[in-house]
Structure 1
């Protein structure tokens, strides 16, 4: 009923429950202070960290130190920079040892000119890591066939791209995302290409479980304010999906006023 508290809208990844549907990346920020401020403003509970920026010993660019001090944050090491399954598997194992987190974002893009994920190597790495007990969250092309294959080998979620990494082209893969959503039994998280909070809201309205953003926040004029804007947009998009969008019309206008017939003089 109106005015009553709604049931908490949590979601689950690999048996771990979260309330925030905005995941954050930690690359491209001008400094650690800005990055931490943006993470806090976003309300994100899952934060991905590139292993090349995390070390066993404190360094100026070590991201693990400041993030490790934040409460309620699950670190998700990613294998960015891996060119094949073997490199990704090795990086994932190292990430679990350093961060103590079972989560891993499998990210394999051998071509530095377009950074598109390699579907064959991604599948192989995901298969091995899922069998080893990792919570595997693969960055992947928006391919419905690959999505089912990854689900079948035990991935905890699917992370199809909205458009190319860092391109800011938004939901260019929207039609393929809808096909993935139609069949998926695990969470679908749009990763890469989002530029604006409105695009994040559209992904949630579509039925995606969450979005992951990095460049859209880090490369904005005010990363902390932008992180907050994304958080509100994700919440609005999820609320709209739960409420149910109105059907689209067939190309003709439909009057909304119940007085239309009376005002037109019909029936008199």
Structure 2
């Protein structure tokens, strides 16, 4: 495996992508991002109040000269909403790289696979670099690859659960099936979970809750950096 994470025409030395939600405050988030060594940070665009300029926003707290922003469509329940959110990210100057989420169940936050495919087709046609959050279904991941997504991001376990890779066999099949970076998204709760994913051959992992909700997010971020 190469020592870099390659997405589209860009390469990253860190294989850890980190989220920006659930921290106690922006300062804690900044310190955790720094400790993680991550180069890509994902931002839930629908959870940012872009109209309130009276106080610092999440985006003001992220050094965009240092980090690549990965806007995501968390909170979108239809393909149309997800596509609209990605277009907004592009209009705001965040580029073409997007993490596509179309939620099908508000309790588990499992994706709506049918809507995910529809949104991915539209976004790829519009020249977005699409990183879809998906179930660990090898057939679905193959379809997303055939559509032209830049990577696939199968969940290891339900979002926020910290259960690790519940079905490593499916992840192995996905690795054998698609010729794209496979980034484990959701459920990664410990540095050892991340190490297992990397040992299997995954290109990277995305982690938010496991860092942000840890007793010491900065120490947890540092541990993930060393995984």
TM-score interval, normalised by the smaller of the two chains: over 0.9
CA displacement 1:129-162 (0-9 Å, x = unmatched): 0111111000000010011100011100000000
Larger radius of gyration: 1
| Cα deviations by residue, 1:160-201 (Å, 9 ceiling, x for unpaired) | 000000011110021100000011211000000011110001
- SS of 1:75's partner is strand
Which of 58, 61, 70 lines up with 1:66 in the alignment?
61
- Superposed CA RMSD in Å reads 1.6
| Superimposed CA distance per residue, residues 48-94 of structure 1 (whole angstroms, 9 cap, x where no aligned partner) | 00112332653546211111x35331101100011010110001100
Give the gaps of 5 or more residues in structure 2: none
Deviates more, 1:94-103 or 1:216-225: 94-103
Structure 2 matches for 1:1-268, cutoff 5 A? 9-54=3-48, 55=50, 58=53, 60=55, 62-67=57-62, 69-233=63-227
- State the TM-score, normalized to the length of structure 1: 0.81
How many aligned residue pairs are there?
Answer: 226
CA contact (8 A) 1:38 1:223 kept: yes
Structure 1 unmatched runs, 5+:
1-6, 234-268
| Greater Cα offset, 196-205 or 102-111 | 102-111
Q: Which runs of 4+ in 1 moved over 3 A?
A: 56-61
Structure 1: distance between partners of 2:221 and 2:97: 23
Structure 1 stretch displaced more, 172-181 or 98-107:
98-107
